[in-house]
Amino acid sequence: MHDLPTLLREYDRARAYTDDLWRDLTPDEVIWRPHEDSSAIGWHLGHQAHVAHFMIRNLTAAEPSPDPELDAVMDSANPERFRGALPTVERLTAFRDTVAERVHVRIGDIAAGRVGAPTQLSIVATHLLTALINHEYQHDQWISEVRTDDLGHALPPDPESDRLSRVDGYLVCNPYA
């Protein structure tokens, strides 16, 4: 059986690293865009949660968006200039926290067998969580580059885990390490 609680801890570790990358920034730095066709750090924060919500919703449990007004703003299929204004840092934080809570609840239900087809969903959940973790780190790389190169802030140390390595410059979680 897959170790979903361990992967949930890796998901929390990835989210904590994201927080280390942005929580000390000013609201202006969070919404600043390096150029017209570039996304702000705040967009990446919302997009990470947006993807987590849609993956959980579409692969394991149909449920409404925690903030439907943000769906179009955080969808990478929409070109930057058509996404609309970013929400406040407080709203982004609440969105991220709500989605993370929902990920925990749904994966917890799967791990405990409180779902139809628990063995099948356990396999799905393992790959889903791995994708969510690696997606978080994928956008952390861009946040890191803007944080250091454009905003002049030092980077926090990489998170420590036996499951993490760098591939093509990106932190990557291997669920089978």
Q: Which CATH number does 4-173 carry?
A: 1.20.120
Residue-level pLDDT at 141: 97
Q: What is the pLDDT of residues 50-102, one digit of tens each?
A: 999 999 999 998 889 999 999 889 989 888 877 888 999 999 999 999 999 99
Per-residue confidence band for 2, with pLDDT thresholds at 50, 70 and 90: low
- The domain ranges of the chain are 4-173
To the nearest 10 degrees (0 to 180), the angle between helices 41-59 and 89-111 is: 30
- Classify residue 149 by burial, with Cβ atoms within 10 Å: 0-12, 13-18, 19+: exposed
Contacts of 94 (CB under 8 A, 6+ apart): 67
CA dist 150 and 25 (Å) reads 12
Per-residue tokens: 172: 């990557």
Q: Please state the pTM of the whole predicted model.
A: 0.94
The whole-number pLDDT of residue 100 equals 98
Give the distance, in angstroms, between the CA of residue 63 and the centroid of all CA atoms in the same chain: 18
